[in-house]
Structure 1
Amino acid sequence: MTSRIEELVDQMTLAEQVSLLSGEDFWSLPAIARLGIGKLRVTDGPNGARGGGSLIGGVKSAAFPVGIALGASWNVRLLHEVGVALAEEVKSKGAHVSLAPTVNLHRTVSNGRNFECYSEDPFLTASLAVAYIEGLQSQRVSATIKHFVGNESEIERTTISSEVDERALRELYLMPFEWAVKKAGTWAIMSSYNKLNGTYTSENPWLLDDVLRREWHYDGVVMSDWFGSHSTAPTVNAGLDLEMPGPTRDRGDKLVAAVEAGEVSRDTVRTRALNILRLMERTGALDDHSAFEERADDRAEHRALIRRAGAEGAVLLKNEGSLLPLTGNGKVAVIGPNAKVAQIMGGGSAQLNPHYRISPWDGLVAALGEDRLSFAEGTRNNRFEPALEGGLEVEYFNNPDFSGTPVFTERLGGGEVMWFAPPGGVVDLTNFSARLRGTFTPTATGMHNIGVYAAGYARVLVEGVLVADASAGAWEPGRTYFEEGCDEVVGQVDLEAGREYEVVVEFVRKPPRILGFSALHVGIGRPLGDAEIAEAVAVAREAGTALVFVGRNGEWDTEGSDLASIILPGRQDELVRAVAAVNPRTVVVLQTGGPVEMPWIGEVAAVVEAWYPGQEAGNSIADVLTGAAEPGGRLPQTFPVKWADNPTNSQDREVYPGMDGKVRYEEGVFIGYRHYDSHGVAPLFPFGFGLGYTSFEISDISIDDSAFESDGRVAVSVTVANTGQRPGSEVVQVYVSDREASVPRPDKELKGFEKVFLGPGERMRITLELDARAFAFYRVEAKHWIVEPGTFVIRASRHAGDAGLVAEVSRQTRLMLPV
């Protein structure tokens, strides 16, 4: 029987079929009114639904914990719950498709986008992604798992070729996508910007056709990342259904001409259009003719979920003398650059305009009362100067030299703007200039930094004097605005407290490299120095406990820019040591998107890694510090002692960060904890590590391997007991080792886990099922998975560095598994 979407596609003209294969605008596909076909809308993203607005401002949205924070929860049930909630958020923005989750692996510790991804481990990543996707799609909102594949760094990300051998691809980088297709049935996939072994992923037939559609039997949509497709016939023939964003660049009339020239068959176009219609049918977009509306739904149940999820992802790394949770009524010093600033998310396409932001200070005031707290900032951790506040009047000109009468004027709320749509509908974003005027009144006398960076040419004048110049003659490509912008140019000017100064910014559009937008950031800040650290020391000395809130923020952990190091920015290490020297009850609360070096680890009493836990950040953190919630997290990424210990450290720049257009995954399957094991390098904190406020015992391992010889399955059972005085959680992690393999294999690989919640004195018997793939490796020459004869070691542990409970299973025959 012919389906409805088959009937529809066959009623379409070629031009109508082609129209569905590219966006109409930045966030939607065109409707086909003649056939009653509605408009499909998409929205970013991984930690909330931003809607159709710019990355800055727009309709307010709920900000959920970022990917690495959810990864640290190790809780598939929580990820399903988050997926369901995010589906409601997507619907509130009038959209049908969420551009999430992000499942690229933490190949290196300095990827600027690690915060958005779950883990260094493919099994953990795949397990969480399946739950997230199933939650989303249970509400008829499509997931879009991304970025397919090999996007593990942000350096030259739109053009670089990730050189990855097939075994590493199959065992590591493809696994989350494979599970998303085979287990969760994802309805959409986004190709990555990069090339894979020399061919752009958006036009890679091996990836999109051979593996995805023929081997995995995928029947959903493959869309490009934004501006990430580069051709007409090659992308369509390889398997890219949808070019985004619109209006079209390489489809439309070009694709119709390619069909007429015989470069693309009509059947291929029909198949691509049918895939789009299938996605529209699955999400309800096919018959959605409702008026487009974006709502700022601030739901109480989502507030509660975000708060709970933030605490469950927090990782207690050190707790000397059981200092935490805080008890008693003593004075608490609240110190650091992240204490009164709510660091709730990373930067880039995942960011949104949150309903609100709860800082750690706000959370602690609510939990402890302000009278118990004292504060000192101590130092700053900003990468860029703080955006100019107070509003800016903007004049737009449809020419590059500010000549004539402005075609449009408007007022901006602050010193950052991204131009995706023409202001007033009349500004020509392909050929414009803008003059922004505002004022700044300093609160202190002294030297101030004036900073500007732009995807375009810009310069800043204070009282008519040029202070910071990133104009055409001075502009150089840098690591801002997704590699479309320059690095920040900073000038200095001496300002007097209380005096109002005129600030003028002149901006001229420049041709984009890859991504078609313009953007500008202008900021003013006053540097902090020795006096502020001395003030923090004085405050810490007078308190019973010192809480030091340090880390990074979304300027550092961001799409489009890898980190230069994993040292805490600025003078934060110095601040921690200075405070710890005068207060033995010093607690460091980290907020980062990945590992940091901790040269002070032996000098402080406790350390909590809180990540970027969403809009309830301060409440989640306060819950953990006061014991209202258990720190439920376990590390989803190994924390090395120093950057040089990480898997991508090499004197060969082609290995990392890349050279001459290539980044070579020389380490193969040995990323993350596999690398530290194989090289005998002791990490600062191992993968899977995390403490709690109670104690657990794992005992009585037993193995059911009755099916191992026939189909490769093994069941692993252990008893988990809460031996402490508080309710809490433990994550049982099962690792498999094959020490007799015919190819180099990791010392151990995570192949099962379960998070167990128990009250004081409670016990539970749990069983984890391992399938044949848990024991297999991919044999490239034979193009299949294989379980070789021999003895396998199974270890039930608390983390990758824990010896745990050990059992063995043996296999006598070779087992071949299909792809």
Structure 2
Amino acid sequence: MIDDILDRMTLEEQVSLLSGADFWTTVPVERLGVPKIKVTDGPNGARGAGSLVAGVNAACFPVAIALGATWDPALVQRMGAALAGQAKSKGASVLLAPTVNVHRSGLNGRNFECYSEDPVLTAELAVAYIQGVQSQGIAATIKHFAGNESEIERQTMSSDIDERALREIYLPPFEQAVKKAGVMAVMSSYNRLNGTYTSEHSWLLTKVLREEWGFDGIVMSDWFGSHSTAPTVNAGLDLEMPGPTRDRGEKLVAAVRNGEVKAETVREAASRILTLLERVGAFEKAPDLSEQALDLPEDRALIRQLGAEGAVLLKNDGILPLQKAGLGHVAVIGPNAAEVRVMGGGSAQIAAHYKVSPLEGIREALSNANSIHYAAACRNNRLINVFSGEMRVEYFKGRDLAGPAMATETASKGEFFWFELPSSELDPSDFSARMTVSYIPVESGEHVFGMTNAGLARLYVDGKLVVDGYDGWSRGDNYFGTANVEQRQAIHLEAGQRYQMTVEYCSPAASEEGINLTAVRFGVEKPLGEAEMLDAVAKAENADIVLLFVGRDGEWDTEGLDLPDMRLPGRQEELIERVATVNANVIVVLQTGGPIEMPWLGKVRAVLQIWYPGQELGHAVADVLFGDVEPGGRLPQTFPKLLSDNCAMVGDPQVYPGKDGHVRYAEGVFVGYRHHDNSGIEPLFPFGFGLGYTRFSWSKAKASTTQMGAEGVTVTIDVTNIGERTGSELVQLYVRPVGSKIERPEKELRAFAKLRLAPGETGTASLVVRPRDLSYFDEGTKTFRAAAGRYELVAAANAADIRSTVAIELASEWIGETDDRSI
């Protein structure tokens, strides 16, 4: 069928398939019955065609690092299948997920959206996620291929990575997604790889992906990540997104006519697009692109389960789990207690069906709500709190708010990121808008107004200019580096008085690259100062237990910028210190997208890391705190003691954050625990660490044979629950080369199993190691090689807790070709 359609297509029609029609759909060819299909973000929910800050409600699942902490591929596969249902509810045939870039440092703003620092864990979870999604007829899209481990200047930065590090650390998750899961789509990254944009990288997109791994799906650009015509098409980039086209269309037709691109190359790319449509069933039944909010009880239950399974108990001196009976007075304190931080920022954002705060979850869990005393104490948001309340929005032709309004609508939030405008008569590069809303302060005193805008904007209160986003506009990190630094201004407001807030916005002029993001975000908040801190300390002093919720939010852990450090923002560390001084029973609950420094660790009784676990946040954390379920998570990323302990933090700007357009991955393969092992730097919490509410005993590891052969070696470990509660235990299996002449990591994870056992129950972890698992990549011969000799298979609970080892022999050197598809 595909060949027949292609035979009847003109060159222009084939070319039309190689670019999007708009932000979210492909181009149809109606005369030949070729429908258009929709794609949707993202990893933790299906947003649909709405903007990053609005849209039809969707189920909000835990972020990827929380899934990494589950170490549970079966559970992740269930989530993938559920997400496919969510994608269908948004009329989408392609889900733009999962994200599998490796945690190179603790500062990547997008670490929350990636699974782990380790390629094996990342690959196993990615395969499970993809299998779940594609089992329901929805295409998964693995991203960002490749070398996108930082958000700093990501559109232009060259990630300079040697081939050994690529082959051993950064490419394996993509490789296994192709070979094991049959992923249908790959998204190229924004950055350059060793000097060449990945969207133009023929070695990456054709030699490695297609010729070596056998990938037969489509490769699409990240949004606005295509920079040329002939180079991208010749390299193997099938689909330019979003549309309408900037680099293809007539330009590509001309490139074919003048010989820069072969007609057969265009036909092959068009064939892959049509094959994708066939695989998702678009030819059998044209997709219904309408969108609905699908709120299923089974999704709610799964999200709640995932939240608990990903929660990592980092410290517990016996205070957890809390007993509800006789608990006494509970102080619930901190900026993350009542504010609901369920996801990271950027393209992963969705409009959740609902969001349960920790405070709400705790109140539901405890029958005596009167025993709960809450205080925010301080703030930790990067930007002024966005305004929430009904407002009128008027849209005008031109950039000067002149003439009649071309469209009018109401909005409930002071944040606008326009993918589409409400009238076809409005030009994204030549429109203006006015937002009008009333604001009634609850308290008298100083209030801070803030605004950031991609485009130009001014904020007025009762007709007086308060925030000027015109004069002195200076580019910042917001909205993927297209908006200004947030402008702030404080004014005095009286409680109960009605103030009229007006924001006047005009779009930026069209850019030469055709990238024209239009956005504005404004808000107001009353600062929290010493009085609020003292109130929190007083409530803590009078409580029997303090639950202290601290961390970050999606303004810090976000696409578009890296973190400034590994410290808790604002006055949160001070808050922990002061609360711990007046109460000995402090439990810290952390919400971050990665590791933080913990100078206060010795002063609190327990620390629970819950990440951003989705819309059931409050229920999941209450389930763990009160012992209804066990904290099932184990760290998917090493938590260093200090920022300087990260492998990329060596004091060289060329290594991080990059210099002169290049960032050099000088550490090579020594990422995460590999770096800590080889440098002798003790981490705060090792890779794979996590406590539970029960205890386990392990047998010694046993190998099925002491000689490595083509079929591999099976290692078994018996684990018994010797405690009084049901719980889970993680069994890791590392390979340690003995006497290697090549510089290699001290040990490398090669397999794992998570066993869930009732009291007294014994389970067996059966883990297989194959010849390639013993190997390293030899850049000279371009092959994977394992030297003959002795290897140790190391059974461990985490990277620093080795339980037993078993030695095996490889009789003769093993060599594996890069195009071996039997992985």
TM range (shorter): over 0.9
Residue 248 in 1 paired to residue 245 in 2? yes
Contact 1:38 1:288 in 2 (8 A): no
Distance in 2 between the 1:49 and 1:645 partners? 37
Partner residue in 2 for 1:141: 138
Deviation, 1:735, is: 1.1
Distance in 2 between the 1:109 and 1:38 partners? 43
Distance in 2 between the 1:764 and 1:748 partners? 25
Secondary structure, counterpart of 2:374 in structure 1? strand
Residue type matched to 1:162 in 2? S
Contact 1:38 1:289 in 2 (8 A): yes
Partner residue in 1 for 2:102: 105
Distance in 2 between the 1:623 and 1:54 partners? 33
Residue 443 in 1 paired to residue 442 in 2? yes
Partner residue in 1 for 2:678: 678
Secondary structure, counterpart of 1:285 in structure 2? coil
Residue 211 in 1 paired to residue 208 in 2? yes
Secondary structure, counterpart of 2:283 in structure 1? helix
Aligned counterpart for 1:365 among listed residues 363, 366, 369 = 363
Partner residue in 2 for 1:807: 806
Contact 2:142 2:177 in 1 (8 A): yes
Deviation, 1:138, is: 0.9
Distance in 2 between the 1:178 and 1:723 partners? 40
Deviation, 1:712, is: 7.0
Comparing 789-798 and 153-162, the one that deviates more: 789-798
Partner residue in 2 for 1:563: 563
Distance in 2 between the 1:334 and 1:530 partners? 18
Residue type matched to 2:226 in 1? S
Distance in 1 between the 2:801 and 2:567 partners? 27
Partner residue in 1 for 2:614: 614
Secondary structure, counterpart of 1:735 in structure 2? strand
Distance in 2 between the 1:407 and 1:448 partners? 34
Contact 1:323 1:585 in 2 (8 A): no
Contact 2:429 2:510 in 1 (8 A): no
Contact 1:585 1:604 in 2 (8 A): yes
Contact 2:38 2:289 in 1 (8 A): no
Contact 2:707 2:809 in 1 (8 A): no
Comparing 175-184 and 31-40, the one that deviates more: 31-40
Deviations 1:5-42, CA, capped at 9 Å, x for gaps: 22222221111111111111111112222222222211
Superposition map of 1:623-702 within 5 A = 623-702=623-702
Distance in 1 between the 2:705 and 2:487 partners? 63
Residue type matched to 2:393 in 1? V
Partner residue in 2 for 1:383: 382
Residue type matched to 1:534 in 2? L
Secondary structure, counterpart of 1:655 in structure 2? coil
Contact 2:320 2:625 in 1 (8 A): no
Residue type matched to 2:593 in 1? G
Comparing 65-74 and 476-485, the one that deviates more: 476-485
Distance in 1 between the 2:770 and 2:205 partners? 26
Deviation, 1:539, is: 1.1
Partner residue in 1 for 2:224: 227
Residue 189 in 1 paired to residue 180 in 2? no
Partner residue in 2 for 1:596: 596
Distance in 2 between the 1:250 and 1:588 partners? 51
Residue type matched to 1:613 in 2? P
Partner residue in 2 for 1:798: 797
Distance in 2 between the 1:720 and 1:663 partners? 44
Deviation, 1:465, is: 2.7
Deviations 1:471-498, CA, capped at 9 Å, x for gaps: 1x31111111111112211111111111
Partner residue in 1 for 2:821: none
Distance change >3 Å, CA 290–CA 133, structure 1 → 2: closer
Comparing 196-205 and 491-500, the one that deviates more: 491-500
Comparing 381-390 and 627-636, the one that deviates more: 381-390
Partner residue in 2 for 1:26: 23
Distance in 1 between the 2:435 and 2:490 partners? 20
Comparing 206-215 and 514-523, the one that deviates more: 514-523
Distance in 1 between the 2:705 and 2:319 partners? 41
Partner residue in 2 for 1:5: 2
Comparing 525-534 and 107-116, the one that deviates more: 525-534
Superposition map of 1:218-367 within 5 A = 218-329=215-326, 330-367=328-365
Contact 1:48 1:86 in 2 (8 A): yes
Secondary structure, counterpart of 2:535 in structure 1? helix
Deviations 1:384-406, CA, capped at 9 Å, x for gaps: 11112223323333222333443
Residue type matched to 1:328 in 2? A
Comparing 286-295 and 190-199, the one that deviates more: 286-295
Secondary structure, counterpart of 1:797 in structure 2? strand
Deviations 1:733-770, CA, capped at 9 Å, x for gaps: 11111142232111111111000000001012221001
Partner residue in 2 for 1:476: 474
Deviation, 1:504, is: 2.0
Deviations 1:207-235, CA, capped at 9 Å, x for gaps: 00110111111100000001100111110
Distance in 1 between the 2:488 and 2:308 partners? 38
Secondary structure, counterpart of 2:700 in structure 1? strand
Q: Which runs of 5+ in 2 are unaligned?
A: 819-823
Partner residue in 2 for 1:545: 545
Distance in 2 between the 1:250 and 1:815 partners? 46
Distance in 1 between the 2:97 and 2:509 partners? 29
Deviation, 1:714, is: 1.7
Distance in 1 between the 2:510 and 2:582 partners? 52
Comparing 581-590 and 600-609, the one that deviates more: 581-590
Partner residue in 2 for 1:763: 762
Residue type matched to 1:799 in 2? N
Moved over 6 A (4+): none
Deviations 1:411-438, CA, capped at 9 Å, x for gaps: 3222100111122222211112223222
Partner residue in 1 for 2:784: 785
The number of equivalent residue pairs is: 814
Residue type matched to 1:69 in 2? A
Distance in 2 between the 1:324 and 1:627 partners? 5
Deviation, 1:590, is: 0.5
Partner residue in 2 for 1:507: 505
Aligned counterpart for 2:116 among listed residues 95, 116, 119 = 119
Distance change >3 Å, CA 287–CA 398, structure 1 → 2: same
Q: Which runs of 5+ in 1 are unaligned?
A: none
Distance change >3 Å, CA 511–CA 800, structure 1 → 2: farther
Distance in 2 between the 1:806 and 1:336 partners? 44
Secondary structure, counterpart of 2:651 in structure 1? coil
Distance in 2 between the 1:293 and 1:563 partners? 37
Partner residue in 2 for 1:62: 59
Distance change >3 Å, CA 291–CA 211, structure 1 → 2: closer
Secondary structure, counterpart of 1:45 in structure 2? coil
Secondary structure, counterpart of 1:412 in structure 2? strand
Distance in 2 between the 1:192 and 1:283 partners? 24
Distance in 2 between the 1:389 and 1:651 partners? 42
Contact 1:227 1:516 in 2 (8 A): no
TM-score normalised according to structure 1 size: 0.98
Secondary structure, counterpart of 1:506 in structure 2? strand
Deviation, 1:731, is: 0.6
Secondary structure, counterpart of 2:336 in structure 1? coil
Contact 2:15 2:248 in 1 (8 A): yes
CA RMSD of aligned residues (A): 1.4
Residue type matched to 1:481 in 2? Y
Deviation, 1:327, is: 4.4
Comparing 432-441 and 277-286, the one that deviates more: 432-441
Comparing 120-129 and 252-261, the one that deviates more: 252-261
Distance in 1 between the 2:749 and 2:658 partners? 29
Partner residue in 2 for 1:744: 743
Distance change >3 Å, CA 763–CA 672, structure 1 → 2: same
Residue type matched to 1:434 in 2? A
Partner residue in 2 for 1:91: 88
Distance in 1 between the 2:48 and 2:797 partners? 40
Deviation, 1:57, is: 1.7
Secondary structure, counterpart of 1:588 in structure 2? strand
Residue type matched to 2:560 in 1? G
